[in-house]
Each structure stands twice: as C-alpha cells, then as structure tokens.
Amino acid sequence: MSSPKPVESGSDILSKNTSYLQYENSKNSSQENTSSNNGVWGSLVDSFKPAVQNTGMTSRMVSEEEERGLTDVERAALRSANSQLSRSLKTRHLQMIAIGTSIGTGLFVGSGSALSNGGPAGLLIAWSLISTGVFATMQGLGELSVTFPVSGGFNIYATRFIEPAIGFAVGWNYFMQFLVLLPLELVAASITIKYWNHTINSDIFVLIFWFSVLFITLLGVRGYGEAEFIFSFIKVIAVIGFIILSIVLICGGGPTHEFIGGTNWRNPSPFAHGFKGVCSVFVTAAFSFGGTEMVGLTASESENPRKAIPKAIKATFWRICIFYLVSLTMVATLVRWDDDRLLGASSVDATASPFVIAVVNGGIKAVPSIINVVILIAVLSVGNSSVYATSRSLNSLAEQGMAPKWTGYVDRAGRPLVAILITNVFGLFAFIAASDKQVEAFNWLLALSGLSSIFTWISINVSHIRFRAALNRQGRNTGELIYVAQGGAIGSYYGLILNLLVLIAQFWIGLFPIGGKPNAYDFFLSYLGLPVVMASWLSYKVWKRDWTLFIRAKDIDVNTGRINIDPDVLQQELAEERSLLAKKPFYYRVYNTWC
C-alpha cells in the first residue's frame, strides 16, 4: 500500500508558482475555443458561463488541499496571480486612461469651490504641491504594477507588503468610494442637461445614462478601454482648446477686447481666506486627483504591462502639468474668486463650473454649451470608470477571501460579471435625482469613503517602501526590476508625508470650517472616512484573530505573480536599450525620460 502524498508547505507551493504572465494570450484563446459554434447568439450566451480554467499557463495550479496549507497572505498572492480576468487592454488604452481618467468633475466643477475658498494663489500653490505627491506616489505604483501585474493592484499590494487587515480596509473603502461615485455622476450628468432644458424630469436622463454605462461595462475590459480612449481624447482636446482660448481672452482677443492680464490676481487679492483657505484647497486638490491610481488596477488586464504601464505612469506628469496646472492658471486669471456664481459650486452642479464662467465672462456665447457637453462626457467617463474600479476591487477582495466567493465570479469573456452587476444595480440609487433630499443623501454617502483616495495613496506609498525594504533585507536589489520608480523609496516617503499632511489639513478644516463655527455635522461630514477605515481594519483583526501589525521584511513574498524574466537576460536587454537611447538626440532622450 503506497504511502500518502505529503502536503507541500506554502513556501514550496509558491516557489513553483512563479508567474502568470508566461503565456501568450493562452487564457483568452482557450476560452474562445470553448465558445459555442452556433453563431453569434450562442457565443454571446456562452460568454456568460464561468471562465475556463487556464491550461496554457506555466504557473502551477494548486488543489484545495494544498491551498489549505497556505497562510492568508500566501493564498491571496496565489489567487491574484492566477486571476481569470481578460488581458485585452492595449498600450494606447492605458496611456489615455492615465491621461484622462481623473479629468472630471474635480477639475471642471470642483475647482470652482477651490477658487472661491483659496483664491488664485491658493489654488495653484495647493494643486502644485499635491501634484508632486501624486506623481511620486504613481511612480511607486508603477514599479509595483510592472513587477507584479496581478489582479487587485494596490489592494493586494497592501495585503502582501504591509498586512492583510490594511488590504481589507483599503480595498473595501476604495470599493465604497467608487460605488457611491456612480450614482453621483449619473445625477451630475442629469443636472448638466438642465443647462439646456429645465423642464424635463431629471430621472429620464438618469435612466438613459445608466443604460449607457451598463452597456459599456458589459462589453468587457476592451469595451471599457475603447470607451475611455474616446472619452479621454475628447476631454484632452477640450482642455487644450480651453487653454488656447483662455490665452486669447487674457490678452484681450475676445469679443469684449478687454485686456485682463493679472487683474484678478491683484483685485480682490491673491488669497481668499488666508492659510486656512489654502489648506481647504489642499483637500479639494487631493480629491480631484482621485482615480489616478486606477492605472494600477489595469495592470492585470494589460496585454503587455512591461511596456504599457511605464508609459502610462509617465503620462501622469503631463496630465498634472498641462491638464491641471496650466488650465487652472487660466481659470484663476479669468475668474474672480469672489464671483457669486462660484458660491453654488458642488459635485453635482456643473452650472458653477469656473470653465463655463470664464468663457461667459469673455463674451463668447457658443463655447459654454460646448464646455457643458465636455463636462457631460467627463461625468459619464467617471461613471464608467467607477464601475471598472468597483468591479475589479470587489473581484480582488473575493479572490483574497475578504468578500463572498460568489462576488468574484468571472465569465468566459474575462468579466467580473457579478461585481459589475452589483455596481450597476447600486447606480439605480441615482433616481433620487428628482428628490429635494438628493444633496444631503449624497453628502453622507460620500462621507463614508470621502478620504478613501488619501488612504489608498498612503497604502501605495507604504507598500512600495516595504517592498524595497524586503528586497534589501533578502539580499536583492532594483537591478532585477523591469521598471524602477524615478524617485525611489525617497519619493514614496515624500508622498506618504504629504498625504498625512492632507489628513491633518482635512481634520482642521472639518473641525473649524471656513466661514462657520465648529459643529459635529460638518466635522463628521468631512472626516467620517477615518473612523470607517479604522472600523474596517479592526473588524478584520477581530474576524481573523490576527493582531500582527506588519509583515516582517524577511517574510515578505517578492516572487509570486512576478513577470518571470531571467535577471541576466533582463540586464542585457536594458543595457541594449540604454545603448540605443544614448545614440539618440538630446531632445529624444528627454522625451523618453518623461513620456
């Protein structure tokens, strides 16, 4: 009688599970081959069936018995590395997603309240400083995403490099952030329509936009990529056009022929409410960059993450410089911070957009309608992105055992179908658009995850720092990495400190609001996110009865899910690339560094 087969240890299993990228679209082809041959309708029906287990991967599948021998962190790393999501996003998709994802209501509408609170100088100081922190954070995310292009992105990085409770808290709060954002953006879109017609019930347009988002998201990741490519392209062209038009208006080339110059910077004043006003803009600026980190979620669905992710991360620099800082400089120059129309600025009211006000002040009649069309496209784009973010976050949580297993259902088209449907069903909450309680309801929903972007960025910074510490502790270095963050670990420390300062500023503004007295309502409305995150973290600790505060550097897994490339071959390829680059003109080398 043969002896029973011993169960392998977690380290043995993970050492055999090297990478899930060592195959050439075998997953997609194997699933396509299992589709019905009964025509388009049969293929469509079959596409909703469970994803076929990948047979062309070089990474090793493990049995349930073997998986039980793994720790929670090992199990999460293994499952995220063997995700069934479709790898269909092309380089052009990722680059345009990186450029245009966060160009939405935060820039077009939210900048209006920021201008009224901080003044033109406060607006630019805050956005400039926050943008440096965002850029440093995205560099660290780029290094992790290229090295570990696994399902869940920054969510799984927090679980693997910090500790699971952090990953649980960050993942669920990120899910809630974008879950609430979908109905909010649908309401914003319906209200934008009122710029042309005030008589039609808002719920009619909510229904139209909801079906549009549902249709796009059910097309799969390729549909999302194509939609975002088009949406982002339109937004980019619009912002560039606005900048050119603004320069003309500032110089007196508009219908009024009024030379504006720096008048609005001197009168009434460069700062609206002193230092407190600047601090309030820090918070608004940080929120406006929300969605920048979504590039990290796309890594597991990119055809070629090694080439696509670095280009997408570098595109962040241009988005910050051109689409935020330059356009906001134009806005601050053309619109007075004490303009009464800015006082009504809110996340669901595009009528107070400083971009529209700037063009109206210039005496141009047709362009405001065009800008409102762009705002409408922007809010639909953010709504579309919110479904992508929530569905991938929920799928990742399910893979890690942090959400019900059925919520991680992936079909043969590589869609996290259940997660997509859950998000879209919640979007029906937008039908309160016609209610007089819509603002209050959305304010409290947003308050639940209002600081989620900050916590996500902090987790990215700490994950990158811990990853570098693990490499150093285990006698390894960045020479084995395909892409290295330009700021290194120091950049992540800088991003971490800046995000912590934003939390402090938010606490101060929440406790002592501008133009008001301290009160519990305003404080919890602006700072409810912190106790929610802490409660999420604590609930996981109690659930798992694991009070470990962080994973020791020597125990961090820096192998599972990596692109399995021979270090010697990689160094040879990088040396050849540097050699070819050195022969290029200076301007090309500069371009290659930042683009």
- The phi and psi torsions of 236 (rounded to 5 degrees) equal -65, -45
Predicted local distance difference test score (pLDDT) of residue 1: 43
Question: Is 462 within 8 Å of 495 (Cβ atoms)?
Answer: no
- The stretch 133-160 carries a mean pLDDT of 88
Query: What is the torsional sign of CA 562, 96, 156, 466?
Result: positive
pLDDT reading at 372 higher than 50: yes
- The phi and psi torsions of 349 (rounded to 5 degrees) equal -130, 100
Task: With H, G, I as helix, E, B as strand and everything else as coil, classify residue 455.
Answer: helix
- The stretch 80-101 carries a mean pLDDT of 74
Q: Which of 59, 94, 65, 89 is nearest to 77 (CA)?
A: 59
Res. 579 pLDDT band, cuts 50 70 90 = confident
pLDDT reading at 389 higher than 90: no
Task: Give the helix ranges, DSSP H, for 196-290.
Answer: 202-218, 221-250, 263-266, 274-288
Question: How many H-runs (helices) and E-runs (strands) does the chain carry?
Answer: 27, 0
pLDDT reading at 26 higher than 60: no
The tens digit of pLDDT for each residue in 190-249 reads 777 877 877 777 778 888 888 988 888 888 878 888 888 888 888 888 888 889 998 998
- The stretch 263-279 carries a mean pLDDT of 85
Predicted local distance difference test score (pLDDT) of residue 465: 96
The tens digit of pLDDT for each residue in 147-166 reads 888 877 788 899 999 999 99
pLDDT reading at 444 higher than 80: no
- The phi and psi torsions of 411 (rounded to 5 degrees) equal -90, -175
> Which of the pair, 286 or 125, is modelled with greater confidence?
125
- The stretch 16-31 carries a mean pLDDT of 43
- The stretch 558-565 carries a mean pLDDT of 76
Q: How far apart are CA 81 and CA 78, in angstroms?
A: 5
Q: How far apart are CA 550 and CA 466, in angstroms?
A: 10
Predicted local distance difference test score (pLDDT) of residue 58: 38
Question: Tokens for 119?
Answer: 């003044």
Question: Is 320 within 8 Å of 134 (Cβ atoms)?
Answer: yes
Q: Which of 446, 451, 385, 390 is nearest to 421 (CA)?
A: 390
DSSP state string for 301-318: GBS-HHHHHHHHHHHHHH
The tens digit of pLDDT for each residue in 451-510 reads 888 899 999 999 999 999 999 999 888 888 888 898 899 999 999 999 999 899 888 888
CA 404 to chain centre: 24
For domain 61-564, say whether CATH 1.20.120.80 is its number: no
pLDDT reading at 517 higher than 70: yes
Q: How far apart are CA 494 and CA 205, in angstroms?
A: 44
Res. 343 pLDDT band, cuts 50 70 90 = low
- The stretch 533-560 carries a mean pLDDT of 90
**DSSP class of 9:** P
Whether the link from the prior residue into 354 is cis, omega within 30° of 0, is no
**DSSP class of 432:** G
Question: Is 32 within 8 Å of 20 (Cβ atoms)?
Answer: no
pLDDT reading at 435 higher than 70: no
Q: How far apart are CA 301 and CA 414, in angstroms?
A: 9
Predicted local distance difference test score (pLDDT) of residue 57: 37
pLDDT reading at 19 higher than 60: no
Q: What percent of the chain has pLDDT over 90?
A: 12
- What end-to-end distance do the CA atoms of the chain give, in Å? 64
Predicted local distance difference test score (pLDDT) of residue 368: 76
Q: How far apart are CA 202 and CA 204, in angstroms?
A: 5
Q: Which of 330, 354, 331, 327 is nearest to 341 (CA)?
A: 354
**DSSP class of 512:** S
Q: How far apart are CA 501 and CA 505, in angstroms?
A: 6
Q: How far apart are CA 87 and CA 31, in angstroms?
A: 12
Predicted local distance difference test score (pLDDT) of residue 472: 92
- The phi and psi torsions of 39 (rounded to 5 degrees) equal 100, -175
pLDDT reading at 62 higher than 90: no
Neighbours of 310 (CB within 10 A): 19
**Mean pLDDT across the chain:** 79
CA 364 to chain centre: 35
Question: Is 336 within 8 Å of 270 (Cβ atoms)?
Answer: no
pLDDT reading at 317 higher than 60: yes
pLDDT reading at 69 higher than 70: no
Q: How far apart are CA 464 and CA 158, in angstroms?
A: 9
pLDDT reading at 17 higher than 70: no
pLDDT reading at 36 higher than 60: no
Question: Tokens for 545?
Answer: 């009865």
Predicted local distance difference test score (pLDDT) of residue 590: 73
pLDDT reading at 436 higher than 70: no
pLDDT reading at 34 higher than 50: no
Which residues on adjacent β-strands are paired with residue 411?
50
Q: Which of 163, 29, 104, 28 is nearest to 556 (CA)?
A: 163
For residue 516, the one-letter residue type is: G
- The stretch 550-562 carries a mean pLDDT of 87
Predicted local distance difference test score (pLDDT) of residue 565: 63
- The stretch 134-138 carries a mean pLDDT of 90
Predicted local distance difference test score (pLDDT) of residue 349: 53
The tens digit of pLDDT for each residue in 92-110 reads 777 777 776 667 767 777 7
